[in-house]
Chains A and B, each alone.
Chain A
Amino acid sequence: MSPSSVLYDAPGPRARRRNAMSTALFLVALAALAWWVVQSLADKNQLEWVKWRPFFTDSRAWGTYLLPGLQNTVIAASLAMVVALPLGALFGIARLSDHRWVRGAAGTVVEFFRAIPVLILMLFANAAYAQYTNVGSDSRPLYAVVTGLVLYNASVLAEIVRAGILALPQGQSDAAVALGMRKGQVMRHVLLPQAVTAMLPAIVSQLVVIVKDTALGGALLGFSELLASVRPLSANYGANTIAAFTVVAVVFVVVNLTLTTFAGWLEGRLRHGKRSTGAVVGAHAVEDLATPGEHLGPDELGGAGGASGR
């Protein structure tokens, strides 16, 4: 049996022929698609070297538009993460409180913000800053984007923190209680430090979500991040919209793939590391934790020590 899949056997002569046929057909389909794309690009003169050259030879394309845009994206994303983390930790711990009203209040807030699109929160924040504060109109988009991202991501991070604490082996808090620690001490000295390690992969993957969501500010709030650099680029370099979009998309993919790979590496290290408890909130749990009404228990997280068949 082929080790790569349980769905098919190691191919015999007939299967090899069939696979070769499928490969050929698929290649033809891909080639047809590629030909169509190239044709329609060439029809609209989007393949001319003049339109692509600025990204390779003109340092101004990067220095004036792309890099400052990327810088704003990174600033907004990191600000949002830095502010959202402590808030998320606070709410995540509050959701595990022994007092019902604390749990209930924190739960309501978290569910509320997880159920609302982040764009709605950004629009609200933008208008709120305009009406109730004297934040200048230059810096208002950044404030609005960061505020929207913080409100949404703090609630997602609260779930990540909660899941991280629940993923720890029960023995950890049992042992701490047996030593005579109080609730707060158990949380501060035993659970939280380990939970932070366990949820690092999930936090890094959430950073990918944040980076992607900053583009909303560029499209709808006039925040001059990476996506917003497409318009001035195509205005200055002869309507090279396709080239500009391609470069912007590639930059996003490179940044996010780096983060995703890092998250995966962290996760592997935590799952199989000698010095960890094996408790981990995986990078893939993030999508589920962002859903209102969804709570992941230790089972769904692969469990302490990792029943990691999935």
Chain B
Amino acid sequence: MFDFLNRYDLLGAFWVTVQLTFYSAIGALVWGTVLAAMRVSPVPLMRGFGTAYVNTVRNIPLTVIIVFTSLGLFQTLGVTLGAGSFKTIDFRLAVLGLITYTSAFVCEALRSGINTVPIGQTEAARALGLTFPQVLTLIVLPQAFRSVVGPLANVLIALTKNTTVAAAIGVAEAAALMREMIENEAQLLLISAIFAFGFICLTLPTGLILGWVSKKVSVRR
């Protein structure tokens, strides 16, 4: 019953899913933090840019963004993000799309974290003569990050599930393999159960571990 599984690289496909998640998570965390900093900055133009970015990107389906990176950026404009085979180009494009989309959610989570930092903290920092970048990076963001581990974990789990969209541009991750297996094999229920189980194994522990971390690091007030 399980013989046909030997013909497919299940672990390899889920490994690609993990890699997609990993690189996109790091990229989205960095870009999302920059966006959040823009949205609370004293420069109106940066605030406007941050707000416009978040409101636009959050309302476009991730599928549209990912398909655009392939059909629009790569095939029409010739953007490849560095040399390599089609496989690595598709992978990088998918990561770019996932970063673009996920960073909007990271930004919003972080911004709500910034709002939980008590006014006294920033007032004290300003009384010491710190400038806005100093207030943000030394006082506010460290506390904000500690209070948004939970929401960021939710963004990470959503990201893990969203990596399946990369199948739309031919990245050989889990959903793409599932599509291939369903087409070639008869055991639909078994195949679906395997992939469902795979994603449960990826998402549930993330939630549990980061939930524990968020309790550990949150600032008690």
Contact = CB atoms under 8 A, between A and B. Distances in A.
From B123, B195, B203, B211, residue with most partner A Cβ within 10 Å: B203
Interface string A136-179: 00000000000000000000000000000000000000000000
B136 interface: yes
B134 to A, nearest CB: 11
Interface stretch (A53-61, A86-94, A185-193, A283-291): A283-291
B13 interface: no
A43 B119 CA distance: 51
Given A19-B43, A253-B59, A119 B175 contact: yes
A181 interface: no
A218 B63 contact: yes
Interface string A1-42: 010011111010001000100110011001000000000110
Interface residues of A, number: 64
Interface in A253-310: 253, 256-257, 260, 284, 287-288, 290-294, 310
Contacts of A8: 42, 126, 132, 135
A245 interface: yes
B71 A120 contact: no
Contacts of A116: 161, 196, 199-200
Contacts of B55: 257
Given A7-B122, A242-B76, A293-B211, A127 B188 contact: yes
Interface stretch (B22-30, B80-88, B164-172): B164-172
Nearest to B179: A123
Contacts of A310: 112, 115-116
Q: How large is the interface on B (under 10, 10 to 19, 20 to 34, 35 or more residues)?
A: 35 or more
Given A242-B76, A245-B68, A26 B49 contact: yes
Nearest to A113: B196
Contacts of B179: 123, 220
A291 B60 contact: no
B11 interface: no
A82 interface: no
Contacts of A109: none
Nearest to B157: A291
B76 A292 contact: no
Interface string B136-166: 1000100000000001011101100110110
Which 6 residue pairs are nearest across A and B when measured between Cβ atoms? A256-B59, A215-B61, A215-B63, A212-B61, A219-B168, A117-B161
Interface of B: 40-46, 49, 55-56, 58-64, 66-68, 71-72, 75-79, 105, 108, 112, 114-116, 119, 122-123, 126, 132, 135-136, 140, 151, 153-155, 157-158, 161-162, 164-165, 167-168, 174-175, 178-179, 182, 188, 192, 195-196, 199-200, 203-204, 207-208, 211
Given A253-B60, A291-B158, 8 more contacts: A5-B40, A7-B42, A26-B46, A115-B203, A212-B61, A215-B61, A215-B64, A249-B60
